[in-house]
């Protein structure tokens, strides 16, 4: 059962005002005059596949363009994908719509429900493969050749088994690297903690010690000056001719008045002042006795304060925070442990996986070598049929580092003429040769590719005559296993169509519009004759066209 793009509805897309395009299984061919709008049709299909479309594609004077594609007979793997994406479907059918506004906005729908363009693209990739001239770049990009060879070889089991092991190897190597990096950081942290513990621990700091030491240092540094000041003050207060003596004399002078008011209060105050000053003098003397002139102590204080200040500057914190940092470092150090055993086990597992993956890569490589031989035979046969009998195709296979695709690098080399050494396709093939080589590749992988609808946009570029006829035959053969849609300007290909559609441009006094419609047998004869001989074909040309059509059938 072949899934088909059953119908395309187009409205206000460039020169196409409105068109309902019916499509069938087998080979569907679009023809028409140059500039009639064949490329617009491809742009419309690209739009429903989620490709980027500009607002310029909206028909002039219209608010929006609408393109709707109706797909029927969905295969199980596509239904499974739709279910995974939460897209409802009935009777194995879906409708995909894309609206492009004249102001540049875009809206996508699947079965009437709004969908993102990325979702449209994901679904579209399962339904349609469009091959245009730019897709020949796949052949020119050697990195894509390995995918073509693998698709031809149908090595899904080998590849999935290898990739599963390779991903486990990657995960293991990544985890090992992360642990090593973590252990490296842990080692650095341990070194840093040990440095903190050694530097701060050596000082055996106490909280607020810097404040206490600085006060003591200030006192010690000014001890001589302080002693002199205290002694002088003591002498003034209680020495010879001191304040105390003078107050005592004053007290004696008014003793006889001590019982009379108000003199008794003044007398008592003088007596109290004498006692207070005497007590102050004694206190000053005691402080003076405590102060020592110790040069060694002063030097010790200076060195310790400098050491503490150095650490405070290094760690940008005060003395109390240094003490806290030291204690925290001791605690954190207890929790850190380098797991060398885990690293060893992971390294052993990685090495075992590396051997396993390498062996699987070798099996994959051997399979590709055999596949390459079959691929060369199959593609060469196709190219011989497509009028390239002297082509020599070679699959260059080299081994390198392990990747998600194995250890191989694959490149297709080709010689288009006898006696020439095969070289990279990009250095040899012309546009027409590229088209035929790509068609040959599509032909040999048509029954292996899961994409149900293949679109060829001007696959016939650069070819004519018998080569064109054989391209038509080959497209028809692919149409037996896939729905094929082809835009062409060659009669030989148009004659091979199972469903022939005409793209016609008409102009009136006001504007130009393009219509698309299916041709009946008579219409096909007329169109093929037009392609062969231009407008107003002769009876002979019509007869020749009819004979070509009958021969192709």
Phi, psi of 13 (to 5 degrees): -105, 100
What is the end-to-end Cα distance of the chain in Å, rounded? 23
Task: Render pLDDT for 4-26 as a digit per residue (tens, 0 to 9).
Answer: 789 999 998 888 888 888 999 88
36 close to 505: Cβ distance less than 8 angstroms = yes
Give SS3 for 448: coil
Residues 263 and 268: their CA atoms lie apart, in Å, by 9
Q: At 230, is the secondary structure helix, strand, or coil?
A: helix
Same-domain pairing of 17 and 122? yes
Rg (CA), the chain: 49
Contact 17, 59 (CB under 8 A): yes
Asked whether residue 74 falls in the same domain as residue 208, the answer is no
Report the C-alpha gap between 414 and 441 in whole angstroms.
13
pLDDT reported for residue 121: 86
CA-based nearest residue to 96, from 72, 80, 130:
72
Q: Does one domain contain both 195 and 274?
A: yes
Q: Give phi and psi for 540, each to the nearest 5.
A: -65, -40
Residue 485 is assigned to a structural domain of this protein: no
Pick from 395, 425, 391: nearest CA to 410: 395
Residue 204 domain-assigned? yes
> Residues in the chain with pLDDT < 70?
1-3, 35-37, 132-139, 224, 293, 337-340, 428-432, 449-450, 458, 509
What's the domain range around 508? 1-129+500-516
How much is the pLDDT for 171? Answer: 92
Are residue 207 and residue 275 in the same domain, yes or no? yes
Q: Determine the Cα angle at 265 with ends 261 and 271, to 5°.
A: 135
Residue 196, classified by CB atoms within 10 Å of its CB into exposed (0-12), middle (13-18) or buried (19+), is: buried
Give CA–CA dist 372/155, Å, rounded: 12
Position 146 in a domain = no
DSSP track, 371-435: HHHHHHHHHHHHHHHTT-TT-EEEEEEEEEEEETTEEEEEEEEEESSTTPPPEEGGGT--HHHHH
Number of domains making up the chain? 2
What is the rounded CA–CA span in Å between residue 354 and residue 332? 37
- Is residue 359 a part of any domain in this protein? no
CA distance 528 to 130: 24
Structural domain includes residue 549? no
Whether residue 492 contacts residue 472, with contact meaning beta carbons closer than 8 Å, is answered with yes
CATH number at residue 120: 3.40.50.300
Which of 335, 369, 392 represents a domain boundary (last residue)?
335
Q: Are residues 197 and 91 in the same domain?
A: no
227 and 327 share a domain? yes
**How confident is the model over 299-334, as pLDDT tens digits?**
888 899 999 999 899 988 899 998 999 999 888 887
The answer as to whether 288 is a domain residue is yes
Within 13 Å of residue 97, how many CA atoms lie on the same side as its CB?
Answer: 14
Q: Residue by residue, what is the 3-state secondary structure of 477-535?
A: HHCCCCEEEEECCCHHHHCCCCEEEEEEEEECCCCEEEEEEECCHHHHHHHHHHHHHCC
Q: Can you read off the two tokens belonging to residue 55?
A: 């607002």
- Residues 209 and 125 grouped into a single domain: no
- In terms of domains, do 122 and 191 share one? no
Domain-terminating residue out of 335, 367, 383: 335
Q: How far apart are CA 76 and CA 259, in angstroms?
A: 129
Helix-strand-coil percent breakdown of the chain, rounded to 5? 60, 20, 25
Same domain for 30 and 125? yes
For the chain, the maximum distance between any two Cα atoms, rounded to a whole number of angstroms, is 168
**Residue 49: C-alpha distances to residues 6, 8, 335 (Å):** 15, 12, 57
DSSP 8-state assignment for residue 95: E
Same domain, 191 and 74: no
Angle between helices 223-238 and 243-253 (to 10 degrees): 20
- Sheet containing 4-13: which strands, arranged edge to edge? 113-115, 106-110, 94-101, 64-72, 4-13, 16-22, 512-518, 499-507, 27-32, 483-487, 453-457, 128-131
**Domain assignment present for 258:** yes
- pLDDT value at position 283? 86
**3-class SS at 464?**
coil
**Which residue, 312, 335, 358, sits at the end of a domain?**
335
Residue 20 sits in the same domain as residue 115: yes
Q: Which residues are CB-neighbours of 365 under 8 A, at least 6 positions away?
A: 397, 399, 406, 407, 408
Task: Report the length, in residues, of the chain.
Answer: 553
Q: What is the pLDDT of residue 93?
A: 87
Cα(270)–Cα(254) distance, rounded to whole angstroms? 10
User: Which pLDDT score, from 0 to 100, does residue 67 have?
Assistant: 92
Do 125 and 191 have their domain in common?
Answer: no
Position 108 in a domain: yes
pTM of the model: 0.63
- Three-state SS annotation for 184-228: HHHHHHHHHHHHHHHHHHHHCCCCCHHHHHHHHHHHHHCHHHHHH
Residue 104 burial (10 A CB sphere; 0-12, 13-18, 19+): exposed
């Amino acid at each position: 059962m072949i899934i088909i793009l059953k119908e395309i509805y187009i409205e206000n897309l460039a020169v196409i005002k409105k068109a309902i395009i019916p499509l069938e299984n087998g080979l569907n061919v679009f023809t028409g005059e140059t500039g009639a709008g064949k490329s617009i049709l491809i742009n419309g299909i690209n739009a429903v596949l989620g490709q980027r479309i500009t607002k310029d594609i909206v028909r002039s004077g219209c608010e929006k363009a609408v393109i709707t594609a109706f797909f029927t007979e969905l295969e199980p793997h596509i239904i499974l994908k739709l279910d995974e994406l939460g897209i409802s479907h009935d009777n194995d059918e879906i409708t995909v719509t894309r609206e492009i506004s004249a102001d540049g906005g875009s809206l996508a729908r699947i079965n009437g429900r709004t969908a993102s363009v990325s979702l449209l693209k994901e679904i579209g990739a399962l339904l349609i493969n469009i091959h245009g001239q730019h897709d020949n770049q796949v052949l020119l990009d050697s990195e894509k050749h390995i995918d073509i060879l693998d698709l031809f070889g149908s090595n899904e089991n080998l590849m999935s088994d290898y990739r599963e092991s390779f991903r486990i190897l990657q995960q293991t190597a990544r985890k090992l690297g992360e642990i090593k990096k973590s252990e490296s950081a842990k080692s650095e942290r341990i070194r840093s903690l040990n440095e903190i513990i050694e530097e701060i621990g050596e000082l055996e700091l106490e909280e607020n010690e810097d404040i206490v030491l600085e006060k003591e240092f200030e006192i010690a540094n000014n001890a001589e000056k302080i002693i002199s000041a205290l002694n002088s003050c003591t002498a003034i207060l209680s020495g010879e001719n001191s304040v105390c003596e003078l107050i005592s004399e004053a007290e004696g002078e008014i003793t006889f008045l001590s019982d009379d008011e108000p003199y008794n209060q003044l007398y008592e105050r003088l007596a109290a002042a004498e006692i207070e000053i005497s007590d102050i003098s004694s206190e000053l003397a005691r402080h003076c006795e405590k102060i020592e002139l110790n040069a060694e102590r002063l030097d010790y204080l200076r060195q310790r304060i400098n050491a503490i200040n150095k650490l405070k500057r290094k760690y940008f914190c005060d003395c109390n925070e240094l003490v806290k940092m030291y204690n925290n470092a001791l605690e954190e150090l207890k929790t850190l442990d380098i797991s060398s055993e885990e690293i060893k086990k992971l390294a052993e597992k990685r090495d075992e996986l590396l051997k396993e993956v390498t062996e699987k890569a070798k099996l994959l490589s051997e399979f590709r070598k055999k596949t390459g031989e079959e691929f060369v035979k199959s593609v060469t046969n196709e190219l011989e049929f497509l009028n390239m009998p002297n082509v020599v195709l070679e699959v260059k296979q080299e081994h390198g580092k392990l990747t998600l695709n194995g250890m191989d690098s694959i490149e297709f080399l080709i010689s288009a003429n006898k006696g020439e050494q095969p070289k990279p396709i990009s250095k040899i093939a012309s546009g027409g040769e590229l088209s035929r080589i790509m068609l040959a590749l599509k032909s040999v992988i048509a029954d292996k590719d899961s994409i149900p609808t293949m679109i060829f946009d001007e696959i016939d570029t650069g070819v004519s005559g018998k080569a064109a006829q054989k391209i038509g035959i080959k497209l028809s053969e692919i149409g037996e296993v896939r729905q094929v849609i082809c835009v062409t300007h060659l009669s030989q290909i148009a004659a091979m169509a199972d469903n022939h559609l005409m793209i016609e441009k008409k102009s009136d006094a006001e504007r130009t519009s393009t219509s698309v419609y299916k041709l009946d047998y008579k219409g096909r004869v007329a169109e093929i004759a037009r392609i062969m001989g231009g407008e107003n074909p002769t009876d002979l040309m019509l007869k020749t066209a009819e004979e070509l059509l009958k021969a192709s059938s």
